[in-house]
Amino acid sequence: MEILKTPAALKAALEIFKGSVGFVPTMGALHIGHKALIETARSANDAVVVSIFVNPTQFLEGEDLNAYPRRKEADEKICELAGVDYLFYPDVADMYGRDEVSLSAPDVRGYILEGTSRPGHFSGVLTVVNKLLNIVNPDRAYFGKKDAQQLMLIETMVSNLFMNVEIVPCETVRDDDGLALSSRNVYLSAQERSEALKIPRALKRATKLVMQGELETGRLQTEMLAVLEPLEVEYAVIVNRAFAPVEYVEIGHTIILVEAVVGTTRLLDNIWI
């Protein structure tokens, strides 16, 4: 595995590589969810590039940018063992200059749901993903369905800007107890972690009701909110794949999303049905 720090060094290494390239962008503190993305990329490409970059422009004032877990050595080992060919580890100064051209998230879909509680977050995400895709120029790039709104906005950007990359959505990996894996789970105390399990339980409850024939989203939402009690719920909503709210679930076209704050940690989860 080659570890490269600057965009120029990674570009130079990839320029002489002739096969297909799969790319997995991350913010590090890698877990089995990231590993699953890497393995999916490994199975479909001649080379795999992973980036580890805690992107400052997607953190709002007062968020956990400085506290975000950083695990350089462990991450390197995970990448090495997962068969990564190129690990890209840039510093902020390698990625951003002064007085830059900016990229904005769409006015509506970038500012609903997670974009309501984190205005501007998705502009930062799209900016860095655009930069990373331009550096790596991969055939395919892999993103988790766990961050469903992020995935939808990246697909929108790739389509709007006519970018030449296939975006591959990957299933959410969960711990044995059902909690979706996230680098931010390390912030949870044992007590908070058990409270957090209400999130996957609420999604499971809604899914079960759908399977039993309850398709009315208002009723499903009420049931989810009851399971989530007494968590601070940012949203528990049911949308179609374009992220518009729907009155009735249409199986194969619906996403149920929950965001809740447990202690001081904001947790996201969803189920695609």
Residue at 39: amino acid letter: E
Buried b (16+ CB within 10 A) or exposed e, 211-234: eeeebebeebbebbeebbeebebb
Q: Which stretches within 96-144 are classed as H helix?
A: 114-117, 121-136
| Of residues 4 and 29, the one with the C-beta less far from ligand AMP | 29
Q: Could you say whether residue 185 binds ligand AMP (CB under 6 A)?
A: no
34 binds ligand AMP (CB under 6 A): yes
Determine, following the binding rule CB under 6 A, whether residue 125 of this chain makes contact with ligand AMP.
no
Give the x-and-dash track for 145-184 against ligand AMP (CB under 6 A). -xx----------------------x-xx------xxxx-
- Measured CA distances, 186 to 70, 190, 265 (Å): 11, 10, 10
**Would you say 28 or 210 has its CB closer to ligand AMP?**
28
Tokens representing 53? 């970059």
- For residue 169, give the 3-state DSSP assignment: strand
Whose Cβ is closer to ligand AMP: residue 147's or residue 214's? 147
Q: Which of 4, 21, 23, 33 touches ligand AMP by CB under 6 A?
A: 33
> Which of 10, 27, 82, 249 is close enough to bind ligand AMP by CB under 6 A?
27
Give the H or E element holding residue 227: helix 217-228
Examine residue 215 and tell whether it contacts ligand AMP (CB under 6 A).
no
Query: Residue 243 carries which side chain, given as an amino acid letter?
Result: F
Q: So which residues are the catalytic ones?
A: 34
- With H, G, I as helix, E, B as strand and everything else as coil, classify residue 23: strand
Binding mask 128-147 for ligand AMP (x = CB under 6 A): ---------------xx-xx
> How many whole angstroms separate alpha carbon 172 and alpha carbon 33?
7
Nearest approach in angstroms of CB 22 to ligand AMP is 13
Q: Which residues bind ligand AMP (CB under 6 A)?
A: 26-27, 33-34, 36-37, 143-144, 146-147, 170, 172-173, 180-183
